[in-house]
Structure 1
Amino acid sequence: MHRIAAHHESPCQACGACCSYSQNWPRFTTEDDAALDLIPEGFVNERLSGMRCDGDRCSALSGKVGEATSCLIYAVRPEVCRTCMPGDVECAMARKRHGLPVLPVVPADAGTHTA
């Protein structure tokens, strides 16, 4: 009998579309000052209202959209980044804008079940 791997790589690591959608999207909302202080200032925009972007792309995004990406500040990313989930409405909008197929909605507890 073959064992199937339980670990599934996040579709976000092969996407990054939500991080390259709009310079107004990676905005700060519910973060407190302590959380914002953890984000390196070079990644924060001049108005201190969100992430600094290069065009529509968040400055903390590394890699090529649609192929392989990662967030340089993943552990301290803003709340807006934490709430965007694979397959949700925002994800679908961003993926469509980049010509990527829309993902099915991934349940919040995906990958936590064991066989």
Structure 2
Amino acid sequence: MVAAANQSSTSDSPCQSCGACCAYSSNWPRFSTEDDVALGLIPEKFVNERQSGMRCEGDRCSALSGRVGVETSCVVYAVRPEVCRTCMPGDAECDMARRKWGLPVLG
């Protein structure tokens, strides 16, 4: 899943007003293709106890800031896991997460 877009710059990305993919499931923000160097860049406080993915509070990634469906950002955007980079606005995963939150699908 793509983490919500970085709020430090203005963009037309729907991710900045969404964040649903980052609050869909505690199993979703998992690590898969990252090497040790990439994982070492993610602050430890955002990594789960098993070191298998991002730490979540319920279904919400602990690195997600803001209100889902209103305004969001990812506090580790530059070093987010691959799974966050592969979800694109309007793809199947995005639409599934948006449905869970009652947001209109983009795809």
Determine if the TM-score, normalized by the shorter chain, exceeds 0.5.
Answer: yes
Structure 2 SS opposite 1:25: coil
Q: Call closer, same or farther: CA 1:99–1:44 in 2, change over 3 Å.
A: same
TM-score normalised according to structure 1 size = 0.83
Q: Deviations over 1:27-58 (max 9, x none)?
A: 00000000000000000000000000000000
Distance 1:43 1:9 in 2: 27
User: Which 4+ stretches in 1 moved above 6 angstroms?
Assistant: none
Structure 1 SS opposite 2:48: coil
Distance 1:48 1:64 in 2: 26
Q: Which runs of 5+ in 2 are unaligned?
A: 1-9
The alignment status of 1:77 with 2:80, answered yes or no, reads yes
Deviates more, 1:40-49 or 1:7-16: 7-16
Higher RCO structure, 1 or 2 (CA under 8 Å, sep 6+): 2
The alignment status of 1:47 with 2:67, answered yes or no, reads no
Largest Rg, 1 or 2: 1
Residue type matched to 1:52 in 2? R
1:33 pairs with one of 27, 33, 36:
36
2:104 pairs with one of 90, 101, 104:
101
TM-score normalised according to structure 2 size = 0.89
Residue type matched to 1:41 in 2? E
* Alpha-carbon distance, 1:8 to partner: 4.7
Equivalent pairs counted in the alignment come to 98
Identity %: 77
